C-alpha cells in the first residue's frame, strides 16, 4: 500500500499501508516466508511459551514482545512444528527480526484403497 506522513509539534511519522492478503497474492515476502515469525517493532521478548520441536496449532501464542509499554502476542500462523527459536526471555529485538519458525505439518498421505 501507499504511505503518508503525519506531523505534530515537530515530530513526524511515516504511516505505511500494509495488506498481508495482497502481499501474499503477489507472492511477496509474506508468501515466501509464511512460517517465519518476526518482531512487529523493536522491543524486548518477555515471554517464550514454545520450544523447538513442539507441536503448535494455528493462533496459539508462542512469544510476547514488549514495545513502547505494550505487549504484542506473537502467535503461530498455522498448525505445525516449531523448527527454529531465535530468542529467549530478555532478548532485545529489532523490527522484522526473525523470532521463530513454524514449519507446517506435511500432508498425510491417504492410504490408497484397493479395488
39 lies in the same domain as 94: yes
Q: What is the pLDDT of residue 112?
A: 52
The model's pTM: 0.65
Q: What is the pLDDT of residues 55-71, one digit of tens each?
A: 999 999 999 999 888 89
Which residues of the chain carry a pLDDT beneath 50? Answer: 28-32
Q: Which residues contact 100 (CB under 8 A, 6 or more apart)?
A: 36, 37, 50, 62, 63, 74, 82, 84, 85, 86, 87
25 lies in the same domain as 38: no
In a domain, residue 68? The reply is yes
Total structural domains in the chain? Answer: 2
63 lies in the same domain as 47: yes
Domain harbouring 87, CATH code: 2.40.50.100
49 lies in the same domain as 26: no
28 lies in the same domain as 7: yes
In a domain, residue 102? The reply is yes
The whole domain housing 49 covers 34-106
70 lies in the same domain as 101: yes
Q: What is the pLDDT of residue 8?
A: 78
Q: What is the pLDDT of residue 64?
A: 93
Q: Which residues contact 12 (CB under 8 A, 6 or more apart)?
A: 5, 6
Amino acid at each position: 500500500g501507499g504511505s503518508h506522513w503525519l506531523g505534530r509539534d515537530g515530530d513526524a511519522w511515516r504511516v505505511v499501508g500494509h495488506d498481508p492478503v495482497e502481499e501474499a497474492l503477489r507472492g511477496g515476502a509474506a508468501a515466501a516466508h509464511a512460517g517465519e515469525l518476526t518482531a512487529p517493532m523493536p522491543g524486548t521478548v518477555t515471554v517464550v511459551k514454545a520450544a523447538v520441536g513442539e507441536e503448535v496449532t494455528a493462533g496459539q501464542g508462542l512469544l510476547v514482545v514488549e514495545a513502547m509499554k505494550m505487549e504484542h502476542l506473537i502467535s503461530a500462523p498455522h498448525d505445525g512444528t516449531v523448527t527454529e527459536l531465535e530468542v529467549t526471555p530478555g532478548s532485545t529485538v529489532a523490527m522484522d527480526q526473525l523470532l521463530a519458525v513454524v514449519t507446517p505439518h506435511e500432508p498425510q498421505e491417504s492410504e490408497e484403497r484397493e479395488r
